[in-house]
Structure 1
Amino acid sequence: MIAAFPNTPAEIAELLAFYASAGVDEALEDAPINRFADVQPKQAERAQAPAARESRSQERPAPEPGRDATRAPERPTAAPGLDASKVPDAPARTAPAVAAVPDEAQALLARQMAASASTLDELRQHMAAFDGCNLKFTAKNLVFADGNPNAELMLVGEAPGRDEDLEGLPFVGRSGRLLDRMLAAIGLDRTSAYIANVIPWRPPGNRTPTPHETEICRPFIERQIELVNPKLLVSLGGPSAKT
């Protein structure tokens, strides 16, 4: 079992092993953050909270004689000479706004930006400027494509991994080396194929993209296929084939 606050080298190594098995393989911050530095101050604050509440309750003024402290505030009364019915009620409390994920408006914007691209360079620029997919804010690079855009063969994978995110190119890690051997077995290489992904940004921890993320990015890969116009289109992996 992993300790709540690891202190020994063995506990820290066990926690790091847990992170690695969960797919956490890099930090999203440039500088390390000590998450346990303020544990003691917070514990002390929680311990002092009951005393502070009791002190505030003692300082609260007592209700006036004959007045029920639990009764709701009375409706404002009209000044002499005014109709009481015209006195407005107190404004009702409104619920706080709830943060929203990218909606249909972002999907529509993606379709419009993709359709307006007449070349692959324009499409890449539109994708780099698009902020409607949350994956962009956790990825390091836009992974657009690799290979020969004039090739007759186009390969489409699912999403970039860690190595692809670092280099900004698709299929450069372990799966990319396997792909190179597969192409070589049929007399091809990256100069005779064009390679892209359904999702151009790496999902955190190499997780599977959600259907919502896939739908937002779908117009870009569809337009990319239209602009390349290959004779043969090959989907690499189940998620790409389903898309």
Structure 2
Amino acid sequence: MTAASPNNIPDIADLLAFYASVGVDEALEDQPVNRFAEVAPKPMERAAASSGDIAAPQRSTNMSRPEPSDRSSAPPVARPTSATVPDEAQAALARQLATTATTLDELRQHMAAFEGCNLKATAKSLVFADGNPDAAVMLVGEAPGRDEDIEGLPFVGRSGRLLDRMLAAIGLDRTSVYIANVIPWRPPGNRTPTPHETEICRPFIERQIELVNPKVLIN
């Protein structure tokens, strides 16, 4: 085997740019994982091996990912067990939940409990709204990005700073407007939401607009 030439080693900036372009912009684990570590046998396997029923498992020769040894000490993270494919039944449920919400707080609770949108499975936060719900001006964006997903607020990244400057230019700020998104969960890699995802979330934003009842709506 020939040694790799230093010229063939990719630059770290190029690697990071590639990962960001395909949506890999966050670590999956808080602790590093040693993928070459020997996987300890499970208690049942150890008991069976000691009784002679089966042979003790040998060190794996494949590259399967072992479980980190300290995972049991990490707090569990609530996540949907699987992504939900948007369908008419989920859209009907979203419409029902949105209709029964009589306040913005109730609407937010319904959206937080709703499992019918596949985007919730990959997002960190429900990005509900920011600003003053009694404002005369309401702004509605498309979907949250990475910064919004982390902070749980709409328009806090680069586009948010631009929005703040635009509002300041006309004598407004976030205390005098109300800001929300059509899609409350970040699409992976900041991709454009699909028509199905938009249709699933449409009843929520429509009800949100009805409850705020702004004089001016900017979309």
- Give the alignment's TM-score, normalised by structure 2: 0.72
State which of 193, 201, 208 in structure 1 corresponds to 2:177: 193
Q: Which residue of the partner structure matches residue 19 of structure 1?
A: 19
Uncovered stretches (5+) of structure 2, i.e. residues with no partner: 39-59, 64-82
Q: Does residue 214 of structure 2 align to residue 230 of structure 1?
A: yes
How far 1:19 sits from its partner (Å)? Answer: 1.2
**Structure 1 residues 10 and 177 mapped into 2: Cα distance closer, same or farther (>3 Å)?**
same
Q: Which residue of the partner structure matches residue 41 of structure 1?
A: 61
Q: Which residue of the partner structure matches residue 49 of structure 2?
A: none
| Cα distance in structure 2, aligned partners of 1:118 and 1:36 | 55
Amino acid at match of 1:103: D
How far 1:217 sits from its partner (Å)? Answer: 0.3
| Pairwise CA RMSD | 2.7
Deviates more, 1:167-176 or 1:20-29: 20-29
Q: Does residue 186 of structure 2 align to residue 202 of structure 1?
A: yes
**Structure 1 residues 11 and 185 mapped into 2: Cα distance closer, same or farther (>3 Å)?**
same
Q: Which residue of the partner structure matches residue 139 of structure 2?
A: 155
Q: Which residue of the partner structure matches residue 182 of structure 1?
A: 166
How far 1:20 sits from its partner (Å)? Answer: 2.1
How far 1:28 sits from its partner (Å)? Answer: 3.8
> Retained in 2: the 8 A contact 1:198–1:217?
yes
**Structure 1 residues 230 and 183 mapped into 2: Cα distance closer, same or farther (>3 Å)?**
same
How far 1:7 sits from its partner (Å)? Answer: 11
How far 1:22 sits from its partner (Å)? Answer: 2.7
Name the SS of the counterpart of 1:41 in structure 2.
Answer: coil
> Retained in 2: the 8 A contact 1:28–1:138?
no
| Cα distance in structure 1, aligned partners of 2:84 and 2:36 | 31
Q: Which residue of the partner structure matches residue 168 of structure 1?
A: 152
| Cα distance in structure 2, aligned partners of 1:144 and 1:42 | 44
| Cα distance in structure 1, aligned partners of 2:108 and 2:114 | 10
> Retained in 2: the 8 A contact 1:163–1:173?
yes
User: CA offsets, 1:90-127, max 9 Å, x none?
Assistant: xxxxxxxxx97231100100000000000000000000
How far 1:16 sits from its partner (Å)? Answer: 3.3
Amino acid at match of 1:201: W
> Retained in 1: the 8 A contact 2:95–2:204?
yes
> Retained in 2: the 8 A contact 1:156–1:198?
yes
| Cα distance in structure 1, aligned partners of 2:175 and 2:84 | 43
More helix by share: 1
How far 1:137 sits from its partner (Å)? Answer: 1.1
| Cα distance in structure 2, aligned partners of 1:7 and 1:168 | 45
> Retained in 1: the 8 A contact 2:90–2:200?
yes
Name the SS of the counterpart of 2:183 in structure 1.
Answer: coil
Q: Which residue of the partner structure matches residue 9 of structure 2?
A: 10
Name the SS of the counterpart of 1:195 in structure 2.
Answer: strand
Q: Which residue of the partner structure matches residue 75 of structure 2?
A: none
> Retained in 1: the 8 A contact 2:129–2:153?
yes
| Cα distance in structure 1, aligned partners of 2:24 and 2:129 | 25
| Cα distance in structure 2, aligned partners of 1:135 and 1:28 | 17
Amino acid at match of 1:19: Y
| Cα distance in structure 2, aligned partners of 1:100 and 1:26 | 22
Q: Give matches, 1:88-127, under 5 Å.
A: 101-127=85-111
Q: How many matched pairs?
A: 174
User: CA offsets, 1:182-233, max 9 Å, x none?
Assistant: 0000000011100000000011111111111000000000000000000000
- Give the alignment's TM-score, normalised by structure 1: 0.65
Name the SS of the counterpart of 2:179 in structure 1.
Answer: strand
How far 1:10 sits from its partner (Å)? Answer: 2.9
Q: Which residue of the partner structure matches residue 214 of structure 1?
A: 198
